[in-house]
Structure 1
């Protein structure tokens, strides 16, 4: 059993509500195709499917995906769950396939290009990812999984940035970078 399966086996209540940023951005959008990367127990997938979105949810934890499928069945929702190790490149984001890609609390820089290509023109990226912080009171974390300040905004500078914020919402936790960015057709602007 991997560490993620152990985590989701121990606490089924993990993260039931979607992040307010996800709710705020998606509540008025017309449902289409969405991808929830490293979805965990699927709080964002469930929320989107409840709004009528066709959701693909990808995670490495079989336990989390089973929990997501159980919760989806209770609500009569259909979510396409995929068990893949994103770090090993097992899941490929098909080009021009999604109207929305969500990436919360998961950083794999190698996916940025696929995210960029996987969104349709006009598609939205919503990401919330942990930032480097040198606070000695915080639990150490692998720096490979932490963004540098400004990195996320710079990485998607070719998108229309609708919202960008680097903040510590909870003083006991690591700060995050939040981005809501729309893929635009830069060729049409030339």
Structure 2
């Protein structure tokens, strides 16, 4: 989806996906080292980045939408924290490699042809022994209609995800149902892929 698409979607008074951290990120945030350097990918309006900054981490948030990043800045100010925003198309441009203690990506949906580059970007951004936390909708989500893109082309498969994670230590991998109430766009029972993995 294009920069203009997301600028248009985020250009509203409310927060499309709410202001609260994603439940999977909240569940596993305790595994992060103290004062970690964290990169949040496809972060949109910033709910996860702001939450992690509130835990004392040094957070950089990447997104292609300037409108989304501006709203993240507003949310960060409301919460009294600082997050570094970076406007970047993560399917075309690399972030700094091996520079973070952890990387987070929640519902960052891109076309299948761009998914390998995005995942390589995320995995490559963390140091040895760094953690990656990912939650996305699977192709099965089309049957649930409770959020996510309405196209299989923009959803993920567990086979692809495990292929990208080859050689990593998998601490948690889940392919199945989960309830998500996040703003107006994630509205109940859905079908997700969850990853918590450590870089070898």
Question: Do these two structures clear the TM 0.5 threshold for a shared fold by scoring above it?
Answer: yes
Q: Which residue of the partner structure matches residue 187 of structure 1?
A: none
Q: Which has the larger radius of gyration?
A: 1
The secondary structure found in structure 2 opposite 1:46 is: helix
- Pairs aligned (count): 182
Give the conservation status (yes or no) of the 8 Å contact 1:132–1:149: no
The 5 Å alignment of 1:19-98 reads 19-29=22-32, 30-87=34-91, 89-90=92-93, 92-98=94-100
Q: Structure 1-normalised TM-score? A: 0.85
The secondary structure found in structure 1 opposite 2:19 is: coil
* Rounded Cα–Cα distance in structure 1 between residues aligned with 2:141 and 2:134: 22
Q: Structure 2-normalised TM-score? A: 0.81
Return the offset for 1:45.
Answer: 0.3
Q: Which residue of the partner structure matches residue 182 of structure 2?
A: none
Where does structure 1 lack aligned partners over 5 or more consecutive residues?
185-190
Q: Which has the higher strand share?
A: 2
The secondary structure found in structure 1 opposite 2:80 is: coil
Name the stretch that deviates more: 146-155 or 57-66: 146-155
Name the stretch that deviates more: 55-64 or 19-28: 19-28
Give the counterpart of 2:160 among 127, 145, 151.
151
The secondary structure found in structure 1 opposite 2:131 is: strand
Where does structure 2 lack aligned partners over 5 or more consecutive residues?
110-114, 180-186
The secondary structure found in structure 1 opposite 2:156 is: coil
Return the offset for 1:116.
Answer: 2.4
The secondary structure found in structure 2 opposite 1:26 is: helix
